[in-house]
Structure 1
């Protein structure tokens, strides 16, 4: 039986990744052991893993995660309030496929898209 899916994304610098996800997006670090080449974070039951990839060219990174939420308006506003940059093409909007979405790019150009189903 499948119980979860956990994305593994590349990071060039662990400290920068920690700063972005923990300080800006309010995730928490998982575990008590520190591994210099690996990081696990969690928020609201959503877990993301990162592996060190120093040679990563951010403009060539196509890492993506789609995260469903049930409070997209308040999440979006909280990120605006704390000045977290929204993807230039990722402002909050209703999509033709029935989702309200917005997107962020992390420091390594991993695309984070947040979406909520629109009730009709």
Structure 2
């Protein structure tokens, strides 16, 4: 196996490690966000996208109906990422849209039913301008990890 290195060549950085229930499903999901597999070990993936690095660790007892972890991706244009991701998820039949206001009890029940039935499900929260000056959205991967994606709102 190769060695993952930072784009800047430095060693002082924080790298998120997210728990996933299926490493192969996770690799497919993060490929939709333009991450490439940098290295792979038994039950562990190192992904890269430019200077970004993300690690995934498989755990058999993981419950994807609960939020396991969170990470934030700051991008130049969150709207384009949102539109592209929504289109891919719709095409793949795994989109579970969630309003910006969050999950209601009805949506939660529908989500749980899909997951328990084994239907591939990716929650995509609607994009919006936040009061803290970022345009952002959240996508919840099949293992329950929240990935927030956003960019600063100019003006």
Alpha-carbon shift at residue 11 of structure 1 (Å)? 1.1
SS in 2 for 1:58: coil
User: How many pairs were matched up?
Assistant: 117
Aligned-pair RMSD on alpha carbons? 2.0
- 1:11 is matched with which residue? 20
Hey, which bits of structure 1, 4+ residues long, moved more than 2 A? 1-4, 59-62, 83-87
TM-score of the two chains, using structure 2 as the length reference: 0.68
- 2:149 is matched with which residue? 114
2:135 aligned with 1:100: yes
Q: Is the 8 A contact 2:134 2:152 kept in 1?
A: yes
Of the two, which has the highest radius of gyration? 2
2:67 aligned with 1:61: yes
Q: Is the 8 A contact 1:10 1:50 kept in 2?
A: yes
Cα deviations across residues 29-67 of structure 1 (Å, max 9, x unaligned)?
Answer: 013xx3122101111321110112110112233301111
Structure 1 spans left out of the alignment, 5+ residues: none
Cα distance, 1:95–1:83 mapped onto 2, change above 3 Å: same
Q: Is the 8 A contact 1:14 1:36 kept in 2?
A: no
2:57 aligned with 1:73: no
2:56 aligned with 1:50: yes
Structure 2 spans left out of the alignment, 5+ residues: 1-9, 103-124
